[in-house]
Chain A
């Protein structure tokens, strides 16, 4: 089992609230990722990071923001939650690889977010 943790696992909250989804990994991985996944559906990359102070936007436009102040921590923030943000959010990490990247990503168990 990979050591990557997401909290909370479930969150039901009202519209307009500020939300932070936590993701931590204890493997010392440089690369970290956030995906959005509707239940049983495909994954969409929304943010990724190569390391401390590095953040990049993914393929799916998202109103969320991320930060990477510490290697092990990659929180995702929604400043003002809306019902359209209802989804599952998965965090992942992978080892740095010199040259072409052939390392698998390790996933947390996700946060299922419901905005009322």
Chain B
């Protein structure tokens, strides 16, 4: 069965510091991995995806994510956090052999303090 875990309900970071939001997954075959961000009273916005190739994926708003096959992880990173990055972040996975549905994690709330 496909699953994705976001072990931290909340991540707090000071503005200007690097941030990491963690995600691990379980899927049969090669995974397709996605990160989304949700601001208050809005839908989810697509940030980036990993399909194949380079393990470091760059996305919108300066975010990047590192795919690690041996650790089955896909952590979201940003070198220098902004207060405006404060939002809810969702990791999602779709397996190569089961592409009907995108499985979302439970979300991690990122709080960036000035």
Interface residues of A (CB under 8 A from B): 2, 4, 6, 40-43, 45, 48, 56, 58-59, 90, 92, 97, 100-102, 104-110, 112
B55 near A: Cβ within 8 Å?
no
Please report the C-alpha to C-alpha distance between residue A43 and residue B103 in the assembled complex, in whole angstroms. 9
List of A residues within 8 angstroms of B106 by Cβ: 41-42
Q: Is B22 an interface residue (CB 8 A)?
A: no
B100 at the interface (CB under 8 A from A): yes
> Is A101 touching B94 in the complex (CB atoms < 8 A)?
yes
Total number of B residues with any Cβ neighbor in A under 8 Å: 25
Tell me the complex Cα distance, A30–B64, Å. 29
B33 CB to nearest chain A CB (Å): 10
Interface residue ranges of B40-76 to A (CB < 8 Å): 41-46, 49, 51
Q: Is the CB of A59 within 8 A of B101?
A: yes
- Whether, in the assembled complex, B13 has its beta carbon less than 8 Å from a beta carbon of chain A, the answer is no
